[in-house]
Chain A
Amino acid sequence: MTHTLLRKGNSFKLFILTVFIIFSGSVKAQSFDQVMSKGKIRGNFQLDMQYYQEDTIIGAEEVPERILSNGFLNLVYTNGGFSAGFRYESYMNALLGFPEGYQGNGIPYRYASFDQKQFSITVGNFYEQFGNGLAFRTYEERGLGYDNAMDGIRIKYRPLKGVEITGLTGKQRLFFDYGEGIVRGLDADVYMNDLIPRLKESKTRILLGASAVSKYQADQDSRFVLPENVALFGGRANITRGRFNLNTEYAYKVNDPSADNNFIYRPGEALFIQTSYSQKGLGIVLAAKRNDNMSFRSDRGESLQNLLINFIPALTKQHTYNLLATLYPYATQLNGEMAFQADLIYKFKKGTLLGGKRGMDIQLNYSTANNLDTTRLNDEDGKRLGYEADYFDVGEVYFKDFNVMLTKKFSSKVKGRFTYANLVYDQDVIEGKPGAPKIYANIGIADVTYKFDIRNSIRTEAQFLITEQDQGDWATLLIEYSYSPHWFVAFLDQYNYGNPDPSKRVHYYNGSFGYNDKGNRITLSYGRQRAGIFCVGGVCRVVPASSGVFLSITSSF
């Protein structure tokens, strides 16, 4: 593989020097040592390792390797406008639940870039996002095993003040290989207040943007005439005036038959609108999104999280508490959904009826995601447009979440955060379990911290999830003791006390302790991991049940 730079025996230092010399014109005017003395190296390291035990009670399978691990080292060298770096990754073999394509060791990410006044050039791997990502977004989310990094060339060009044009071309990462398709993209950001002199002092700040992204993949299919070049176009605006902000983006994709959409030729489109108002003690965010047939991958046959070129944001709250975050989180439906979200954050001042002596924060959040209202066209042997969709009507409910969170400090020693959430969750669609009933759940969480003194504190979480569907009711209890700034120890038990099957009313206990020091953190834990779903931004990974000892080491320098 071309990206396994170190496998080929080249030293990293030689690589940096070579690229540096190629890219840096200024090196001629200064002595080599002078230039090199300005260089800096930074990086970080992460190792997650688990020893697995078979646990038939929770369905944790025996792992033949017994020990699995994921390891990463990022190293970045910078010197003035020049930077180069790489990421070494090791999967011996990948932890359970991560895609099995992650196997072995290698350097799948390496790059060199140079930044001048008007140009920035990157060769090798890079991450990039156009606007909100409806047209293009490559990123890494390590917890998901998600990495769709580009490998190619990116040029950023700033011809005028307030104007930045980004052009890129390359292939996307697929585990330790590349996707089949070639991706080309062009994006422009125009800061109108910088570009137009009479807007310079205006209180209204306007950013306009436009994107065009195209992918190429050869047609080797005898059933259909497939478009080998598929393009997606987008436009966006971000307008701020005083306390108000409007962020909106629209994207349109021409016919893109793929495994995701059952090889239909219907164009895709997505609209995202978010408006917000904020002042001291108050924040309101309203957002709406409609996406229709907007899966866009550099390999039309791919599925899951692989080779996605764009990103459709999820308009649902990203919860952090265990039961809320991993039992029924929402995964964006790329083939079509209409979603709305409203957020309200308000601070009751000290001395008011609800604020009391120390004030109180309240966060209200409501989100809903529905299917589009579609009608099948039965045109499989004709134009294969698949279906028609009414633009403003919505179909069945996929997901609803109403939640409220109160944060209050009761005294100098005691503070608490209390959450209530009501969920509707369509397992059939979100998890792909045909015939599974829709889940209606109520969740209550109390998170209380007691601070003994400046170093010692204890935090407890009590969580309840009540539902008549799926696995029934759950309870979680967490006790965490911290000795600042270095040590912590915690015990967690999740109990599926309401499981309709008495033999599955199981305790998922877990004990952990950790040490923090500056940029280093070591955590060791032992216990059971419940099967669940881990999502970030509407992109999800199924986490299988496991049991054993888990070690995590992170370090940055």
Chain B
Amino acid sequence: MRFAFTIFIALLSFSACEVIDDPIPANAEDNLQIGAISADSARLFDSLGIFADTDYKIDQALNLDDTDSLISFILNNTWAISTAPDNSNRRFITLEEFTGHECIFCPLGTKEIIRLDTIFKEQLVPIAIHAGGFARPRQSGDKFTTDFRVEGGHGELYQQEFNPGNAYPRGMVSRLRSTGNAGWEADINSIAADSPIAELKLTSYYSNNANVVRAQIQVIPLVPSSESFSLQVFLKEDNIVDWQKDAFSNPVDIEFYNHRHTLRKVVNGTWGLNLPNWQVGDTLSYQYVTTVDPNWKPQDLEVVCFIFDNDQSSYEVMQANAAYFTPR
């Protein structure tokens, strides 16, 4: 009896274990290509962002698993169209900043971003990644209960990779290196005059009624390269007013703090989409169709895309762009 009891407990314990051979979920997104478009439809389709030579990557939650459903979905909704700036002859630069609402020195980082934004304007694409202990929401009380961390744990993975020491404010200018806010301007200046290796054309199609955004992205190589690149797509929201700690404020807790450029959604996985080897003259065309949280403010939302060297010893962002959901 005792022996049987012991064996039973042991078996129970051993069975509580799962070995995963294939960690990547199959069909995390639906991939579609629209076939030849008739001449009659071409003009309408073109104006609505329906293209024949584009890989459509569709959020599975939308259940658009064939081209007819996709086209019907696009035709049956209204879309605000907004185009990102031209970067065919300029290298646009990302500034990914690690921050947290309980981080008392992080507002220094925000101030520096605002200052740099006025200097470099559209060439600079800031993204605030709320991650780590300072970004953890409180479980109770009336302060700091909002969770600014991006769903899916991506922010924590970026933190792990780029800011393992949990230093704040910390940022990466085009992922050249991770540094404090004092080093950002120098890093930007070191690459601001570089010629781009590719143009990133970006158009946002946003449907308020469907709570969906479609990011039409064209990667147009300008120089040959033997490196391997990935395409990353984010959504970010500006001007979120909520609690923030600030070491230089009295009181330290600020109720109506303007959180800038907050990363809201990592659309295509932590490390993006691996791009095929390219040649000058190619055009790689993708359209990400993804859901938008109705609580986010459309007027402050932007699609961000960038391509980066996916060699793990580099991760350097080579080109970037951003488009508002609603035209400016």
Contact = CB atoms under 8 A, between A and B. Distances in A.
B102 interface: yes
A234 to B, nearest CB: 12
A159 interface: yes
Contacts of B257: none
B271 A165 contact: no
Nearest to B166: A432
A45 interface: no
Interface residues of A, number: 55
B104 interface: yes
Contacts of B21: 383
B276 interface: no
Contacts of B166: 432
Interface centre among B104, B140, B141, B154 (most CB of A within 10 A): B140
Given A64-B252, A259-B157, A226 B20 contact: yes
A434 B164 CA distance: 8
Interface stretch (A216-224, A310-318, A505-513, A531-539): A216-224
A230 B157 contact: no
Contact of A225 (B12, B13, B24, B132): B24
Contacts of A221: 152-153
B142 interface: no
Interface string A96-109: 00011001100000
Nearest to B144: A100
Given A186-B10, A231-B14, A432-B165, A262 B157 contact: yes
Given A61-B247, A165-B6, A230-B17, A383 B270 contact: no
Contacts of B164: 432, 434
Nearest to B250: A62
Given A223-B28, A380-B271, A231 B165 contact: no
Contacts of A231: 13-14, 16-17
A431 B312 CA distance: 23
A380 B23 CA distance: 9
B17 A225 contact: no
B39 interface: no
Contacts of A433: 165, 167
Given A222-B28, A301-B153, A432-B167, A212 B312 contact: no
Given A212-B14, A223-B28, A229-B18, A434 B23 contact: no
B13 A223 contact: no
Interface string A157-194: 00110000101000000001100000011101000000
A94 to B, nearest CB: 13
Contacts of A188: 6
A263 interface: yes
B17 A214 contact: yes
Interface of B: 2, 6, 9-10, 12-14, 16-25, 28, 102, 104, 132-133, 139-141, 152-154, 156-157, 160-161, 163-167, 178, 247, 251-253, 269-271, 274, 312
28 contacts: A61-B104, A64-B253, A165-B6, A177-B139, A188-B6, A212-B13, A216-B16, A221-B152, A222-B28, A223-B153, A223-B270, A224-B24, A225-B23, A225-B24, A229-B16, A230-B18, A231-B17, A259-B156, A259-B160, A263-B157, A381-B274, A383-B21, A383-B22, A432-B166, A433-B167, A434-B163, A434-B165, A434-B178
Given A222-B25, A223-B28, 15 more contacts: A64-B253, A100-B102, A159-B2, A186-B13, A221-B153, A222-B28, A223-B24, A223-B153, A228-B18, A229-B17, A230-B17, A259-B153, A259-B157, A383-B22, A432-B165
